[in-house]
Amino acid sequence: MSKTLNLIKTNASNPKVWIVAGITVAGIIVVAETRRRRKKAMIIKREDFGAFMERFELIPFPQPPPPAAKLPLLGLTFAIKDIFDVKGHATGFGNPDWQRTHEVADKTAVVVTALLKNGAKCVGKTVMDELAFGITGENKHYGTPTNPNMPSNVPGGSSSGSAVAVAAELVDFALGTDTIGCVRVPASFCGILGFRPSHGAVSTIGVLPNSQSLDAIAVEPRRGRHLVFADDLFQLSKVPKQKTVHVISKAVEKLSGYQLPKHVNFCQFIASNVPSLKGFFQHSTNLQNGISALQALSSAMVSLQRYEFKTNHEEWLKDVKPRLGPEVSRCVLAAINNTYENVKSLYKVRTEMRAATQSLLKDDGILVIPTIADPPLKLKKGSSTEFHDRACALLSVASMSGCCQVSVPLGEHDGCPISVSFVTYHGADKFLLDTVLDMYASLQEQVSMASNSAPLPDLNGNMDASELLKEKGNAAFKGKQWNKAVNYYTEAIKLNGTNATYYNNRAAAYLELGCFQQAEEDCNKAISLDKKNVKAYLRRGTARDSLLCYKEALEDFKHALVLEPQNKVANLAERRLRKLVS
């Protein structure tokens, strides 16, 4: 506990930072900038934003007399997720039937006691997704906490109340848990910093388990830093790179001690270095199919969570038959009814994934990835398969490797909070936090500059020259020189930005390179110029399918069939996606 507490103490002494400490079967700390949301908070009528399910006070340990140093968290208040034991209180696990069928705790969770010993005061328990299943933050029994930034949208979960309490400035910090993203998601949706410690860095004694193997041991860090951008993972994000990758690259240019950023195709890397993943690939995919390696990792993560949840709670579920919300009920049934034939392979993937990330990042590397792919869902809409799959794909990186991860807010896009995550090797928690604190001011400066900049307009030019460049691009494409083809098509577009064929052809080259987001953008442009371009719909459908946007991909293939009813590619894809979406 001492090293974890040192991280809390370090941040608590910084007047510009708030901490939301999180442990978990994964462990987390959520940090929020202090001078932000009071004006927005006044609009919300609910006094506590629905964040709390129970109010009480746990008085901190007394300040020792001089010459003892002042307690580092003295004067700070915190809240805890309804998953932590408090002596004399029944831990509810987000569900009234669980609370009703369990005795009050005879001890307080170790991490809560540690915070009280360091001077902080606990002021209550916060709302969570039932049984820590879910990433939207909705709870049919206790209500859904109100996202202070976007009141009509979900706050994210399962540590929804803890994130909301910090974002609304109701407490100085709050405890949550993170198994497959349950703090990272609400931190991103509520616009605050979120930290998931390395597996085992924070004690889980006195914390109800969901899936204990997806936990998060801190060691002293090395010196020197280099950022590694997972370029392929940013294709899953709908936020322009100008507001993410570009912002971070510019921020570190001004800082000392940083090497030039590196770029990696992360999916190809794990497909080559985590051999046990082969058993989790979908039958319709292969090792080279872009995001499919991440889908396989996500599948292993969800299977591991369900297996351990079943092991932990099957007996109680069958005896009590609790009332559950529809989304949680679906997850619980999947966990209980599944048979797990090769459990060893789940743990083998986790072991190989940790070794692979250590190999990639070595002693000074920090992986840069999107925190989550999509903006917060509207309230009461439920989470679709597509939303869940795209979220879990990104969240599986840290959950399955046991690495530590910080989610950092980067302003807004289209009115929604956006964030990016920094991930480093298991045990380097302080190294990661030091890095974020070092670059935070520079990041916020670049965020402000990016929000005020406009994209460059397309250039128009000579028609004959652009056609010549298109033909050169076609020749390069036939020769399987995909990058060369992209360059030729790009030059043609610069000369004539109104020709749908140029965008459509470049989209085809991008698909071959696995650049699915760029392919989708080019198809969008081609369709805007030519509404009956069948190839553009087919290629956009392929790109969206690869980006796990199943519903949008299905619509594209349907549209292609309207224009060309006998198209075999569209027909097969439409059938497969219709089954997946349903």
Residue environment code for 514-536, b if the CB has 16+ CB neighbours within 10 A, otherwise e: bbbbbbbbbbebbbebbeebbbb
Look up the domain containing 32 and give its range.
Answer: 2-225+352-451
* Between 194 and 23, residue with greater pLDDT: 194
Judged by average pLDDT, the poorest of 108-117, 258-267, 319-328 is 258-267
Same structural domain for residues 52 and 188?
yes
CB 130 within 8 A of CB 141: yes
Per-residue pLDDT at 360: 96
Please determine, for residue 460, whether its predicted confidence score (pLDDT) is greater than 80.
no
Whether residues 558 and 517 fall in one domain:
yes
Would you place residue 238 in the very low, low, confident or very high pLDDT band (cuts 50, 70, 90)? confident
488 shares a domain with 425: no
84 plus 217 within the same structural domain:
yes
Q: What pLDDT does residue 290 have?
A: 61
What is the rounded (10 degree) CA torsion for 147, 153, 154, 160? 0
Query: Which pLDDT score, from 0 to 100, does residue 367 have?
Result: 97
Give the residue, 75 or 238, on which the prediction is more confident: 75
Helix, strand, coil percent values for the chain (each to nearest 5)? 50, 15, 40
Q: Report, as an integer, the average pLDDT of 235-239.
A: 88
Per residue in 422-451, pLDDT (tens digit) is: 999 998 999 999 999 999 999 999 988 877
Does 220 lie in the same domain as 135?
yes
pLDDT digits (tens, 9 = 90+) for 499-509: 999 999 999 99
Contacts of residue 191, Cβ cutoff 8 Å, sequence gap at least 6: 36, 149, 167, 409, 412, 417, 419
CB 205 within 8 A of CB 110: yes
DSSP assignment of 300-343 equals: HHHHHHHHHHHHHHHHHHHHH-----HHHHHHHHHHHH---S-H
Mean pLDDT, residues 124-148: 95
- Residue that is last in its domain, among 425, 451, 477: 451
What is the spatial distance between Cα 228 and Cα 259, in angstroms, rounded to a whole number?
Answer: 10
Report, as an integer, the average pLDDT of 529-544.
Answer: 94
CATH, residue 482: 1.25.40.10
* Predicted local distance difference test score (pLDDT) of residue 454: 55
Q: Which of 451, 477, 498 is the last residue of a domain?
A: 451
Share of the chain above pLDDT 90, in %: 68
pTM: 0.79
Domain count for the chain, please give it. Answer: 2
Is residue 395 located within the same domain as residue 536?
Answer: no
Assess whether pLDDT exceeds 60 at residue 37: no
Q: Contact at 8 Å (CB) between 32 and 46?
A: no
**Banded pLDDT at 495 (limits 50, 70, 90):** confident
For residues 433 and 521, state if they share a domain.
no
217 shares a domain with 154: yes
Nearest to 126 by CA among 86, 168, 185, 83: 83
CB of 511 closer than 8 Å to CB of 542: yes
Kindly state whether residues 172 and 132 are assigned to the same domain.
Answer: yes
CA-to-CA separations, 509 to 437, 453, 463, 477, in angstroms, rounded: 40, 29, 22, 7
Q: How high does pLDDT run on average in the chain? A: 86
Residue 281 lies in a domain: no
Give the pLDDT of residue 254: 78
- Structural tokens at position 420: 């990016």
**Res 225 pLDDT > 70:** yes
* Tens digits of residue pLDDT in 274-325: 999 998 886 444 434 568 899 999 999 999 999 999 999 999 999 999 999 9
What percent of the chain lies above the pLDDT cut of 70? 87
d(CA 100, CA 97): 5
329 inside domain: no
Say which CATH number the domain at 13 has.
Answer: 3.90.1300.10
Verify that 47 and 194 share a domain, yes or no.
yes
> Does one domain contain both 428 and 576?
no
Residue type, 128: M
- How many CB atoms lie under 10 A from the CB of residue 199? 26
- 49-66 per-position pLDDT tens digit: 999 999 999 999 999 998
| 487 and 419 fall within a common domain | no
User: What per-residue confidence (pLDDT) applies to 41?
Assistant: 39
* Strands lying side by side in the sheet with 262-264: 17-22, 28-33, 193-196, 404-413, 416-424, 365-370, 226-230, 262-264
> Is pLDDT of 560 > 70?
yes
Vertex 364: Cα angle to 360 and 215 (nearest 5): 70
Domain presence at residue 275: no
Q: What is the pLDDT of residue 335?
A: 94
Is 50 exceeded by the pLDDT of residue 25? no
For residue 187, tell me if it sits in a domain: yes
pLDDT at 396: 96
What is the rounded average pLDDT of the residues 353-379?
Answer: 95
Domain end position, chosen among 451, 479, 506: 451
48 close to 470: Cβ distance less than 8 angstroms? no
